[in-house]
Amino acid sequence: MRGPRRDDRIRINDRIRVREVRVIDETGAQLGIMAPAQAVALAKSKGLDLVEVAATAVPPVCRITDYGKYQYNEQKKTRQARKHQKTIEVKEIKFRPKVDMHDYDFKKRNIQRFLHDGDKVKAVVFFRGREIAHPEIGRRILERLIKELTEIAIAESIPRMEGNTMHTILSGRPGIKKLPPEPPPERERRLQMEADDDAEMSDDGGEEANAEPDEPAEPAALIGTEASPAEEPVAESAAPAVQTGPSSPETKDGHAE
């Protein structure tokens, strides 16, 4: 693999072939303008290199530093810049001339989400068969879309025909912010609440099962009193019938004779 061209390389020490350079030392102090040979000798005396950091300046700017450390810092800056940069993608949203209101609103929300994420959107209207004879229908759809999204989007081009399609490019306005995450649908939220309730009920049931059983209560007669010997029941004797006189026979009618 071929290395970079000589013009793209960073020139150091004896490779710096100009009449004079502006020199900055390792602490960032300005040492003024001097010949490259004098600057190289100064760098060598400190055990460092003379590195050209601004070749297009007049005169070129050189810094006295450690070339290996300078390369490491430059590569680290490049990695950090690449890490934070975002690649802009172009999302394509397709419409039909006979698009209904629900489908139009659904696709418009998708376009809004893409724009808030920092991407561009290519809105395309596809024509089939004899629909191509009425391009004004697709133009009205795209113009309406541009008008409704004018607060967050900029149309980079007016709607134009290409074959059997008509398209426009939309990009987000400067300073547009990313949308917060959407709440879950009502059904998913309800199912989650039911699952949480079931989990709480199972936890309560487990606690009751693990609880120690209560000790059986003592009879009320034995609580707080001492046991007393059982009293023998007194037998009740029937009193003998007392006769005051001889019994008189009764008649059949129940009267004494």
Count, in order, helices (H) and strands (E) of the chain: 5, 9
Q: Find the mean pLDDT for residues 26-49.
A: 89
What would the pLDDT profile of 48-70 be if each residue is shown by its tens digit? 989 998 888 888 899 999 888 88
Question: What is the CB neighbour count within 10 angstroms for residue 208?
Answer: 7
Distance (Å, whole) CA 177 – CA 184 = 21
Separation CA 11–CA 152 (nearest Å): 47
The domains located in the chain, with CATH, are 8-84 (3.10.20.80), 90-172 (3.30.110.10)
What are the tokens at 115? 């724009």
- What's the confidence (pLDDT) of residue 137? 93
pLDDT tens digits, 110-151: 999 999 888 899 999 999 999 999 999 999 999 999 999 988
Task: Enter the DSSP assignment of 252.
Answer: T
What pLDDT was estimated at residue 103?
Answer: 92
Q: Rounded mean pLDDT of 61-83?
A: 87
Residue 52 near residue 12, CB atoms below 8 Å: yes
What backbone torsions phi and psi does residue 162 show, to the nearest 5 degrees?
-145, 100
Residues 6+ apart with CB under 8 A from 256: 248, 249, 250
On the question of pLDDT at 257 being above 90, the answer is no
* pLDDT at position 148: 92
